């Protein structure tokens, strides 16, 4: 196994009363990205933040901003999130009619392009746009709220996503969002995950450096013998 496991702490689980300090703390703890969940109350049953908060995070963070749009009609806001400072912009094929066009535009703006699949959405939704993908995110919970439990059947989906990405020949990273914890990390790494989105597994388990290192160290527990 030659992949380096990257950790993207989700500020959805951070203490927003001291968000700047929280961002600095996870950076110092070794986070690779800062994950920002954008929810609109339409595509998912929750409302979180928008470009203004992303812009505020950009003023503090020195690591890349990993922005996940869980919103209807994401095409309307690509330029806004680019201007706010997003480095990675991930959209849901379930939320856009023309995924190829959306991903192409994200890259044209200079960001890395990601596609996120809800638990019930199959890999066929992205099979013909792999050339436009930098990141394929597998939602291992139903999107909308932090702190949910991992859906066990998503493990096989992660494995299939890894196989599809490898066969494509494109350098696509497999990101996992939902229920990532020390107990689920080993199997996810074995299945082919590259990036862990971790909310409560980091922000609710201080010190943050120990929490992040614990997720990365799960590679040594991989039970498939890779």
DSSP 98: -
pLDDT computed for residue 65 by the predictor: 98
The domains of the chain are located at: 6-221
- Residue 166 annotated among the catalytic residues of the structure: no
User: Any known ligand binding at 35?
Assistant: yes
The predicted-structure confidence for 62-121, as pLDDT tens digits, reads as follows 999 999 999 999 999 999 999 999 999 999 999 999 999 999 999 999 999 999 999 999
User: Any known ligand binding at 177?
Assistant: yes
What percent helix, strand, coil does the chain show, rounded to 5? Answer: 45, 20, 35
- Residue 80 annotated among the catalytic residues of the structure: no
User: Any known ligand binding at 144?
Assistant: yes
- Kindly indicate the confidence band of residue 224, based on its pLDDT and cuts at 50, 70 and 90: very low
pLDDT computed for residue 2 by the predictor: 58
CB atoms within 10 A of CB 101: 13
**For the domain 6-221, what is the CATH superfamily, name and number?**
Aldolase class I (3.20.20.70)
Q: What is the pTM of this model?
A: 0.95
Q: Considering 32, 40, 134, 177, which one is annotated as catalytic?
A: 177
Task: Give ∠ CA 35-37-40 in degrees, rounded to 5.
Answer: 165
Tokens found for residue 5: 């496991």
């Amino acid at each position: 196994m030659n992949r380096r496991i990257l950790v993207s702490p989700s500020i959805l689980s951070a203490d927003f009363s001291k968000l700047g300090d929280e961002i600095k703390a996870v950076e110092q703890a070794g986070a690779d990205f800062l994950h920002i969940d954008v929810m609109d109350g339409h595509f998912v049953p929750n409302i979180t933040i928008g470009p203004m908060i992303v812009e505020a995070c950009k003023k503090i963070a020195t690591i890349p901003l990993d922005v996940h749009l869980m919103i209807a009609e994401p095409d309307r806001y690509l330029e806004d999130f680019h201007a706010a400072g997003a480095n990675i912009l991930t959209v849901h094929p379930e939320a856009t009619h023309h995924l190829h066009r959306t991903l192409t535009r994200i890259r044209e703006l200079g960001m890395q392009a990601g596609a996120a699949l809800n638990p019930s959405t199959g890999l066929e939704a992205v099979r013909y746009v792999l050339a436009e993908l930098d990141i394929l995110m597998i939602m291992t919970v139903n999107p909308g709220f932090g702190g949910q439990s991992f859906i066990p059947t998503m493990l096989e989906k992660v494995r299939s996503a890894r196989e599809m990405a490898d066969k494509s020949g494109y350098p696509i990273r497999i990101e996992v969002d939902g229920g990532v914890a020390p107990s689920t990390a080993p199997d996810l790494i074995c299945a082919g995950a590259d990036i862990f989105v971790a909310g409560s597994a980091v922000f609710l388990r201080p010190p943050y450096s120990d929490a992040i290192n614990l997720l990365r160290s799960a590679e040594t527990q991989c039970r498939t013998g890779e």
